[in-house]
Structure 1
Amino acid sequence: MASPEMKSIRQQLPRWLETSLPCATRGNVASYIPELSKAPHNALGITLLSATGESASAGDCGLRFTMQSISKVFTLILALMDNGEDEVFSKVGMEPTGDNFNSMLKLELVRPGIPFNPMINAGAITVSSLIRGSSPEEKSERILHFFKDLAGNDRLDYDMGVYRSESDTGNLNRSISFFLKENGVLSGDVEEVLDVYFRHCSIVVDCADLARMALVLASNGTDPLTGKQLIPRRYVQIAKTFMTTCGMYNASGEFAIQVGLPAKSGVSGGILTLVPERYGIGVVGPALNDKGNSYAGVHLLQTISRELDWSMF
Structure 2
Amino acid sequence: MLLSKRNFKTVEGNTDLEIEAKTGQGLIIKNIMIYDPTLDYITVSISKTTVGYFRVGGDLGSHLAFHVGAREPTSVYDTYGHINQKTLLSLLFNLGLFKGYPVASGESFLITGAKKATSIQCIEYEIWDAADITPEMENGSKSTSFLYINYGHSGDNINVATDVLLDTTNNPAEFPDFPFGKIVPANRNIELYGILASDVLPGGTAAVTTKTEFLKFMQGKTFLFDEDRQGLLYNAADIPGPMGAKCIAEGQSVGGNYSDVDLKNPFMFDPPIVFPQGQELSVFWKCTKLGAGTNFSTALQEIGLILRMVPIS
Band the TM-score falls in, shorter-chain normalisation: under 0.3
Q: Which has the higher contact order (CA 8 A, sep 6+)?
A: 1
TM-score, length basis structure 1: 0.26
As a proportion of its length, which structure holds more helix?
A: 1
TM-score (norm 2): 0.26
Of Structure 1 and Structure 2, which has the larger fraction of its residues in strand? 2
